[in-house]
Chains A and B, each alone.
Chain A
Amino acid sequence: MTTSEGGGAHAAPPPPPVHQRSRREDLELFSSRVPFALKLVAVWVAILGSLVALFAAAGFDTAWMRDHAGFIARGVTWTIVIAACAIVLACILALLGALGRLSRNPVAVGLTSFYTSFFRGTPLIVQLFLIYLALPQIGIALGAPWDDVLTLDVLTAGIIALGLNYGAYMTEIFRAGIQSVGHGQSEAAEALGMTYSQKMRRVVIPQAVRVIIPPAGNEFIAMLKDTALVSFLGVSIERMEIFRRAQLAGRRDFRNLEALIVAALIYWGLTTIFQYFQLRLERRLSKGYVRGTAGVAVAGERRAPGTEKR
């Protein structure tokens, strides 16, 4: 408490105003004693409560939901199958894409830059239809056996489109992962006389995997949701994923609100579950090292204090 202005200010500082607690202040003090987590739960409960009230006002048919939840939930299998197949395809493409982008071969660079540019530069839904509807047209023009080969069923077309699209985005993730492995590692591998592919397989990629897995997990979760787009390709009676089933059931009985809420809840549950595993995986990976090609066995332990300077 110093007088900041100069001059001969000899006057005593004004006395602090007599303190009187207002009601607002009481509330603040009370609030400060409530744990943050409890408040958070209260906010969530309030949001969900309002939504339920809103839906009730809209004539929400809970009995219908109960009856049809099973039908819609049976789509989970196909949703996961589509996402799992597509993520495998995407990872393969992303690895090839990343190696291509990092190579000095003009053909490889050209192919991969064309691939990533096209599939990142066009809407996923357009790609889905291109592969499902436009490829057969090319197939017919080319004649046998291409007319058969290029005419894909809904699921295959969906998997290929999702895989191509996500592979293009994940190319960047893989490229960054590979580049995160220090140059010294490459030199050590080369100094041993390794070829490029030995170096990649034995030294660089096993270390890059550790960096790649967390963001790749995120892509998988995003893809779980994008599988819903496959339903736009039309009906494939037995192999309907979640959203397709929700649409079907909802339209038939004019219970779209209920059906779509069920579908949304299922997607939400799925992503939450996978996010939980993703978090655990990330924690594990941050502690130790990914070992070899096996993937995720954690081997390193926390290092002893003051051992070295890496």
Chain B
Amino acid sequence: MTSTLDDHADVRVHGLWKSFSGHEVLRGIDLEIDGGDVVVVFGRSGSGKSTLLRCINFLEEPTEGTIEVAGIRVEGGGHRTRRKREQIRQLRIRTGMVFQDFNLFPHLTALENVIEGLVTVLRRPRREAELAGRELLELVGLPEKAESFPIQLSGGQQQRIAIARALAMNPRVMLFDEPTSALDPELIGEVLGVMRRLAKELHMTMLVVTHEMGFAREVASRMVFMSDGQIIEEGPPAQVLGDPQRPETRRFLQAVL
């Protein structure tokens, strides 16, 4: 890792602890993601992968620890003062989030979903936002669905719109929380295809929680294995997948591959 070249890290997680009513879900996570890197987080359910992601944009308040995205540094824990809320908001603006169950706004069309952040949060003029929005729909391969409502789209299409919505904010990092887990098997490929494009063509910095090991092998610059709220193994996919060092990793990979 390039921990000496601190300024190049887009995301820095330091000493992250999270407990839910006494139960420790994250136990001291340190993680840095450099610009353009794709980090795939994997592990058994309950290992804390999703919580890690959700702590990074403060959908969950870390019990302890520091999160830094694009130079915006927020301490976890303590009361959310007005100042802290604004810091969190600034951090979120620079962080794109893709949810497992899409969470598109059902009362808005695909295009309106994509430009909502631009218009409401970044206060871009609607015309300009729509142009950008249509380009993004093109990027995710759904230009003809601009006027469709989420309910009229398949799960795979909805997730691609959700990716476009997050991308519209021009974030420094994209967080993917099991983006294909709620999809029917035949729809997974189209979503992974878009994510592959983001990584390879746009060199987007990405943190992906997924069980899609084929995708990880092909796209990840680094893989992180989590167990019981800790990162217990990490490295390039060839190494982690080909020659796992820890028995937990080996057992998990045997089960999923």
CB within 8 Å of B: which residues of A?
182, 184-185, 187-195, 198, 202-203, 206-207, 210, 289-292, 299-301, 303-304, 307-310
From A187, A193, A210, B103 is in contact (CB under 8 Å) with A187
9 further A-B contacts with Cβ under 8 Å, apart from A184-B101, A187-B97, A299-B107, are A187-B59, A192-B92, A207-B105, A210-B107, A291-B108, A299-B149, A300-B149, A307-B151, A308-B151
- Bound-complex Cα distance A162 to B181 (A): 51
B155 & A308 in contact (Cβ 8 Å cutoff):
yes
- Of A192, A193, A309, most B-chain CB atoms within 10 Å: A192
B149 & A289 in contact (Cβ 8 Å cutoff):
yes
B93 & A193 in contact (Cβ 8 Å cutoff):
yes
B117 & A185 in contact (Cβ 8 Å cutoff):
no
List the 3 shortest-distance A-B pairs measured between CB atoms, nearest first.
Answer: A193-B93, A188-B103, A191-B97
CB within 8 Å of A: which residues of B?
57, 59, 89-90, 92-93, 95-97, 99, 101, 103-109, 116-117, 120-121, 149-155, 158, 165-166, 169, 182
A193 & B92 in contact (Cβ 8 Å cutoff):
yes
Q: Which residues of B contact A299 (CB under 8 A)?
A: 107, 109, 149
B106 & A191 in contact (Cβ 8 Å cutoff):
no
**Smallest CB gap from B154: residue in A:** A307
**Smallest CB gap from B162: residue in A:** A188
From A190, A191, A193, A309, B182 is in contact (CB under 8 Å) with A309
Q: Which residues of B contact A303 (CB under 8 A)?
A: 151-152
Q: Which residues of B contact A194 (CB under 8 A)?
A: 117, 120-121
Q: Which residues of A contact B107 (CB under 8 A)?
A: 206-207, 210, 289-292, 299
Q: Which residues of B contact A307 (CB under 8 A)?
A: 151-155
A196 CB, nearest partner CB in chain B, Å: 9
**Smallest CB gap from A194: residue in B:** B121
Q: Which residues of B contact A308 (CB under 8 A)?
A: 151, 153-155, 158
- Bound-complex Cα distance A308 to B152 (A): 9
A203 & B155 in contact (Cβ 8 Å cutoff):
no
From A192, A210, A289, B121 is in contact (CB under 8 Å) with A192
**Smallest CB gap from A195: residue in B:** B89
Q: Which residues of A contact B153 (CB under 8 A)?
A: 307-308
B97 & A202 in contact (Cβ 8 Å cutoff):
no
Q: Which residues of A contact B158 (CB under 8 A)?
A: 308
B181 CB, nearest partner CB in chain A, Å: 12
Known contacts: A300-B151, A304-B152. The answer to whether A185 contacts B89 by CB under 8 A is no
A51 CB, nearest partner CB in chain B, Å: 48
- Bound-complex Cα distance A227 to B95 (A): 53
B118 CB, nearest partner CB in chain A, Å: 9
**Smallest CB gap from A188: residue in B:** B103
Q: Which residues of B contact A189 (CB under 8 A)?
A: 105
Q: Which residues of A contact B155 (CB under 8 A)?
A: 307-309
- Bound-complex Cα distance A292 to B149 (A): 13
